[in-house]
């Protein structure tokens, strides 16, 4: 069981409480970090990329609904995608655009299962590019070469050997330095980073929009957290109501570990898992091997 140290450096310093959960599944570990002043719930998955059983994958929500048309996938929730693809752990991926809206109680909502969608930025699954719609001029990407060699940066073209690609919203950490923009407020956040030696992949989800439980992070705070977790490079993924982390507890049981904020504005303050266009996750193959692999 992970126990986090309590640090106090003044009246406004955050306090880290003992972690309530620390779970291992072979080369993958889930940790919950709970803080107060301000309240924060931080969910971390660490992936050992030296383990040859590991594969990092970017999985679309659903099949292409209109062949050569403008739409590339259909929306599905992270737990649905994780179960279908047998992912040991997963987070929501890139930003996306939707085709239609449903109107309920006067509210137009595009985030419903099965809605046609397209991802923003470079998007590749199993060696096939299925989206290259620009997210922004500055949008960075995470690129997987082979099964588990990971690069993060801004790419004019994809590296040779790329098999999986997800595009982020902003670059948060570059060469160990916080490069996040400062204008964004505290919100639920999803992010992914890589360690300096290239051997650890880190998924990060921070709950938000609940002042008594977790207020969320600014982009700069997200970058600082990733640096503390040992990341050399990191990007922000789609966040807000999309932020979701899923963990496979057993061969038949997938659990949403965070408290998604989609629905927090409803009268009942529900935690609703928003359907998304794609999911970044990790597969652990059954066959064991003791031969170490350098992922660089």
| Domain-located, residue 162 | yes
The residues near 207 (Cβ < 8 Å, ≥ 6 apart) are 40, 41, 42, 43, 188, 213, 214, 216, 243, 258, 259, 261
Cis peptide upstream of residue 38 (ω within 30 degrees of 0): yes
Can you read off the two tokens belonging to residue 188? 């639920």
Can you read off the two tokens belonging to residue 274? 């928003």
**Range in 12-21, 36-45, 64-73, 89-98 with the lowest mean pLDDT:** 12-21
Greater confidence, 204 or 14?
204
| Domain-located, residue 108 | yes
**Helix/strand/coil percent split, the chain, to 5:** 5, 40, 50
- Tell me what the mean pLDDT of segment 203-211 comes to: 93
Q: How many domains does the chain have?
A: 1
pLDDT of residue 6 exceeding 60, the answer is: no
| Domain-located, residue 198 | yes
- Tell me what the mean pLDDT of segment 220-226 comes to: 97
| Domain-located, residue 295 | no
pLDDT, tens only, 226-240: 999 999 999 999 999
Domain enclosing residue 97, as ranges:
20-284
pLDDT, tens only, 158-188: 999 999 999 999 999 999 999 998 777 899 9
pTM for this model (two decimals): 0.88
DSSP 222: H
| Domain-located, residue 176 | yes
| Domain-located, residue 7 | no
| Domain-located, residue 128 | yes
Q: What is the pLDDT of residue 19?
A: 61
| Domain-located, residue 5 | no
pLDDT, tens only, 188-197: 999 999 999 9
């Amino acid at each position: 069981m992970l126990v986090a140290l309590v640090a106090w450096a003044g009246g406004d310093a955050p306090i880290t409480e003992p972690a309530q959960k620390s779970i291992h599944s072979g080369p993958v570990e889930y940790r919950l970090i709970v803080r107060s002043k301000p309240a924060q719930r931080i969910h971390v998955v660490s992936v050992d990329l030296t383990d040859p059983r590991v594969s990092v994958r970017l999985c679309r929500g659903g099949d292409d609904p209109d062949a050569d048309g403008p739409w590339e996938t259909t929306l599905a929730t992270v737990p649905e995608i994780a179960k279908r693809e047998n992912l040991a752990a997963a987070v929501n991926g890139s930003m996306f655009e939707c085709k239609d809206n449903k109107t309920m109680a006067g509210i137009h909502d595009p985030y419903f299962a099965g809605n046609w969608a397209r991802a923003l930025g470079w998007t590749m699954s199993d060696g096939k590019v299925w989206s290259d719609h620009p997210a922004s001029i500055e949008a960075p990407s995470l690129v997987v070469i082979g099964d588990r060699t990971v690069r993060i940066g801004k790419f004019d073209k994809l590296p040779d050997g790329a098999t999986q690609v997800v595009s982020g919203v902003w670059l948060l950490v570059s060469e160990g330095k916080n490069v996040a923009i400062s204008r964004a407020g505290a919100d639920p956040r999803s992010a992914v980073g890589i360690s300096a030696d290239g051997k650890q992949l880190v998924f990060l989800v921070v709950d938000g929009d609940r002042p008594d439980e977790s207020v969320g992070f600014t982009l700069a705070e997200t970058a600082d957290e990733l640096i503390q977790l040992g990341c050399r490079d990191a990007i922000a993924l789609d966040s807000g109501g999309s932020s979701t982390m899923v963990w496979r507890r057993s061969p038949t049981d997938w659990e949403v570990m965070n408290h998604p904020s989609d629905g927090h504005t409803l009268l009942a303050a529900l935690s609703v898992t928003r359907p998304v266009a794609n999911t970044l996750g990790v597969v652990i193959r059954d066959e064991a091997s003791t031969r170490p692999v350098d992922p660089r």
